[in-house]
Every structure is written in C-alpha cells, then in structure tokens.
Structure 1
Amino acid sequence: MTIRDRFKLAAIQAAAVPFDLGASTEKACRLIGEAGAAGATIAAFGETWLPGYPFFCNAATTPLTWQAMAEYLANAVEIPGPTTDKLCEAAEHARLDVVIGVVERDASSGGTVYCTLLFIGKDGRILGRHRKLKPTFNERAVWGDGDAVGLRTYERSYGRISGLNCWEHNMMLPGYVLAAQGTQIHVAAWPGREPAAAPPPTVPLWPRQLLLSRAFASQASCYVIAAGGMRLHSDTPERFEELSTIEYTGGSYIIDPRGEIIAGPAEGETILLAEGSLQAVRAAKALTDIGGHYSRPDIFRLIVDRSPRQRVLDRATGHDEADPRGTW
C-alpha cells in the first residue's frame, strides 16, 4: 500500500450561528482551516450546517414561525455566490476537500430553498452539489424537492467521494446509484443526534443516524463520514426560543468499509479524525460490490433522470429560464 492510498477523514461537529449567514460562514472557514492543519484530506459538515437546520419546522405554526421562515430564506446560500467563494478560498488555503451542508436558495425564483450538500475541491473549485431528493416530514414545509443532477460520485486523487443527506439513506435507491458508481468515501450528513430522552416510541421519525450510516458503509463497501450537526436551545436567538423544541447534540462517527466504527461518537464541538486506506475499500468491494459483481442486472435495473427540472422554457431561445446558469 502506497502513501497515496492513505487518507485522513474528518467530521466537523460544531454549531452554526442560526439566522446569521455571515457569522456561520466565518466559523465554517475557521473550522476548515483547523481540519487542514490537523492533516485532513477531506472534511465534512452536517446537514444544512450553513446557516443551520430549520429547527422551527418541528414547533407549532404561529406568526413567529413565518418570521423564522422569512429570515431563514434571507440567510440562504446561492451557488455560486459570495458565500461559496469564501468557502472555496478556505478549502484551497487549507488544501483539503470539503463537503458541507448548505441551505441553497433558488437563484431564479428567490423563494425556494433546498437542503443541499456542496462539494468543494482542495483547489478551491466547486465540484458539484446534491439537493435532498425528498425532505422528511415537517421539513417539507421549508425545503423544496431536489433533483438527481448531483447524484454522482467525484473522482479525487485519493478516491471517489459521494454524499447524501440524512434520511436519503433510508430511501435505498439513491444510495444504490452512488454504490454503482463505485463510491469509496461517502459523507452522510445529519442535523445531529437528538437527546435520548426525547420523543416516545410512538413517534416514527426518530433519526437512525448511526444505524443507517453503518448500513450504508457495509452495503456500499466504503468509508462513511457520519457528520452530525449541533444546535442546543442555548444557541437559539432569543426571539425564536419558543420554537426550539428539539436539540441536536452531534453524535458524529467515522465508519470503515465493513460497517465498523473507527472513530466516535464525537461529543461537543470538535473535529473527529480517522485514517483510511484504499486497500480496506478494495478488500471490502472484492467481497461485495453491489454495483458490480454482487448485482443482478439481468433481473434488476435502475433508471436515473439527471436532467435539470425545467419550470419555464423560452420557445424563442430554447433556454431554461428556471436555471439560466445551467448545471454542475
């Protein structure tokens, strides 16, 4: 095994600054720098880390909810834009790849946001983005449905990387698409583990952060950076305290291609690190490559439509007015 076959994985577990895009971006850039200084090859943040998970969607709907949703929309990120420029600069300066959850605002309508994973290369360029295909339960009141434009792996010098958001790992088919593309290092982005004392067993949406992350690692024979976000009641702006019904306490892990935990759980604000190797990935895939020799394409085939969703088509030009900048 050569030095090139080795890499260092990092899960950045920290709280953003809710409803403050500028302060959250500044903190993200600082943490990227710290991960780079620790020797990380790739660093991952949790779901919609920038500028934070929409915790208010789990509270009763009141006029305060609409105020929170309006501020959330105002603090969303456009790709590309000034915020992504800063993240790209930080990644380039730190010399590592970054996968970060962002609240992405639709640049055309300006009124819709997506739960997006943004992939940035160590050269400071945007590799791509993946919008969560189906927001879960109350999230549907905040985020729009995503597309398959970014449902792909990215070839890096140390391996192929991919990512999904939270309960997309419960959908099965998106994960198979990435496994079939040979993912070797996967980011599972979560809002963060919730306290063990929270909802009763009758609540069906209790996150399965560790369970689904380990299952994905085993099924896809890849490393998984299960990056959990953080947001405590104390992190919530005073004006929105009554909407803070659930806390997110991190619980990040790093998992090997056999589904075994090699780092974590992380507690508090920290950068969780673990060493990885392509040798371990290859050994696992030699046993079960579900997109290759461990598949049955004569029986099962999956069709993916990666075309961008066209809302308005100008018949005079043939251009899609819903996404004038094209796709990644």
Structure 2
Amino acid sequence: MKAAVVQAEPVWFDLAKTVEKTCKLINEAASNGAQIVAFPELWLPGYPTWIWARLMDLEMSVNYIKNSLRVDSEEMQAIKSCAAQNNIVVCVGFSELCGGSVYIAQCTIDSNGELLMTRRKLKPFHIERTMFGDGHGQSLNNVASTTVGRVGQLSCGEHFNPLLNFSTFSQGEDIHCAAWPCVPTHSGGPEPYSMSDEAVASISRVYSIQAQCYTLHSTTVITEPSIEQMRTKQATVFNVPGGGNAKIFAPDGRQLTQDLPATEEGMVMADIDLDQVTMNKALLDTCGHNGRPELLWLGRDSLEKPSVRSS
C-alpha cells in the first residue's frame, strides 16, 4: 500500500479554486499509486497567517469566513466525488463554516466517497482563538475504519497534548494524519523553537513511536506574494517564504521519505505495510500490554453539548 502527503500552497481566500487544486492533487496521488492522501491544516481555504501579525483585520476575516467550507456543501461533495473516482482515502483540513462561526476542522473520506468522520480542533492554538471556535466532545472520536485501515487525525498544536494523544492512541490507529500549517525553520530569534519545522517533525516522529502507527505529516507552503497579500512581512512568524515539511514516519519512528525543499510544492510518497504496526505493537502497545489501567487511566466525555438542548 502506498501513502501520499501533500506539501503545497492553497489558493488563498478562494474556496472554489482550492477545491479544484485539491482534486488535482488527489488525482496526482492516485495516478502515482497512492491509496491514501493527507492534506495540511486549514488547507481549505488556507491558514489565516495574518492573525499572528495583527489582532484585528475585519476585511480579511470576512473574506476568509465567506470562503470557508460547509460540510453539506457542493464543494465538499466535489471532494468526495473525486475521492470515489480515484478510489483513494482522503484526509483534509479545512475551515468549517457552521452558522456564523468557523472551526479548524478535519475530515476523513473513504475510497468510495463516503464521509466517515469530521472533527474540530478542540482548542485553537494561542492567537487562533480570536478567529476560530472550540471543538466539541464528538471531536474526540477522531479515528475511522477505512479501506486502508484505521485512520486518525489531529491538527497542529493538538499534538502537544498528551491526554488527547492517548485518547487517539486508544482508538487503534494504523495511520495517523498530522496536519500542520506552513512551519518555518527556526530563525535563531526570540520566537519559540517549538513552532519550528524541526520541532513539529520531532513531535510527529514521537507520535509514531508512541502510537505504533504510521504518521503522515503534512504542511502548507507559503510564497512571497502570499506574504504580501496577508501583510505578514513584519510578523514574528509566517514572514518568510517556505514552510514545507512533508514527511512520512514508520511505526518505529524512522522517516520513510526524502524531504522536498521547504519552498517547493509537491508530494512525498512511501510504501506502508500494516504488518509493521502489528510487529511494533508486539514490542510496545501503549494502550494494551504496556498499560496499567488499574493505576493510570484517562476519562473522556465525547458527547456533543449544543448551546440549546433539552434537559
């Protein structure tokens, strides 16, 4: 079985054109033999980098919300149909528009075009909270059975949360899709190293080892025209072209792919064998024979709690 991970730039602020580009990349992955393809965080319609440069930009915010994706939309149907036409599992990050709010969302589409899972990032990271709402309890149900195995997803900074990671491990992932925005090389300046390409790749590598699964690590690319468009040149982050960092990690943590240049759009691919998941779990099964649930356990509430509900 072959997996593909996208490292590309969306068509910023343009949902229709980014859906078109999404389908082209799905076609490319499938034509090269992939049975699963993973896209970055907020791929549709792109990560709003300007929120790290200034606290308020109502014009950009309105445009962004108008180009966000509704789960029941024609645009989502187009992606589902493309997955079915190419017989490929698709994991994609998007800005979900629901009512008047937007959420950092992810979905898993099976190779027959069925939408198996949608979820929302439980707690947007830092300044993202000025733009996006929180996820609900159902977003803890983030692993789905697909034609290529059990596939789970988390978004960006969620990977820093040990409890959320463990909750995801417990659902028996074979393949994990780690969605990130454009992630630059650390400049040596005051910004946290934890937001650098090396750091987040290390997080994904460790995730593979701890979960004993394959990890598809996907990131966006940003170019100079996009930096100018979102006016982030003077920001601490998202201020230089690049950010590409796509990788695939095996269940024992080894990297299976060669890196693309950080400024280059493309796709990395690797053969994966689910027997390797079984072999690594024979040595280390975090939620199985290596656990001590009578001593240490995790409680979780995966129920959705809407704003208006019957008591």
| Fold agreement, TM-score > 0.5 | yes
Instruction: Name the counterpart of 2:71.
Output: 79
Query: Within 2, Cα distance between the matches of 1:32 and 1:230?
Result: 17
Match of 1:100 among 73, 85, 92: 92
Describe the superposition over 1:50-102 as per-residue Cα deviations: whole angstroms up to 9, x where unpaired: 1000101101235xx11111111111111121111010011011110000000
Number of residue pairs the alignment of both structures matches? 302
Partner Cα distance (1:71, 1:205) in 2:
30
How far apart are the structure 2 equivalents of 1:57 and 1:276?
37
- TM-fit CA distance, 1:244: 7.5
Q: 1:260 aligns with which of 249, 254, 257?
A: 254
SS for the counterpart of 2:231 is: helix
Of the candidates 100, 105, 111, which is equivalent to residue 122 of structure 1?
111
SS of 1:231's equivalent?
coil
Q: Which residue, out of 209, 219, 222, partners 1:228?
A: 219
2:182 matched to 1:192?
Answer: yes
**Shift of the alpha carbon at 1:174?**
1.4
Alpha-carbon spacing, 1:302–1:105, altered in 2? closer, same or farther (3 Å):
same
Task: Name which of 307, 310, 314 aligns with 2:303.
Answer: 307
Distance 1:130 1:176 in 2: 17
Give unmatched runs, 5+ long, in structure 2. none
CA 249–312 in structure 1, closer or farther in 2 if over 3 Å, else same: same
Task: Tell whether the 8 Å contact from 2:121 to 2:139 is kept in structure 1 after alignment.
Answer: no
* Equivalent position SS for 1:30: helix
The structural deviation recorded for 1:235 is 2.8
Once superposed, what is the RMSD of the aligned Cα atoms?
A: 1.8
Counterpart of 2:283 in structure 1 is 287
8 Å contact kept, 1:118–1:128: yes
Q: What is residue 138 of structure 1 aligned with on the other side?
A: 127
Structure 1 residue 156, shift from structure 2 partner: 2.2
From 10, 14, 39, give the equivalent of 1:16.
Answer: 10
Aligned to 1:160: 150
Shift of 1:204: 6.4
Contact 1:169/1:175 (<8 A) preserved: yes
Look up the match of 1:177: 167
**Aligned partners of 1:145 and 1:44: how far apart in 2?**
23
The CA deviation at 1:255 is 0.3
Question: Measured at CA, do residues 279 and 244 of structure 1 come closer, stay the same or move farther in structure 2, by a change above 3 Å?
Answer: farther
State the shift of 1:193 in Å: 2.1
With the length of structure 1 as denominator, give the TM-score of the two structures: 0.87
With over 3 angstroms needed to count, the CA separation of the structure-2 counterparts of 1:192 and 1:202, relative to structure 1, is: closer
Residue in 2 that maps onto 1:324: none
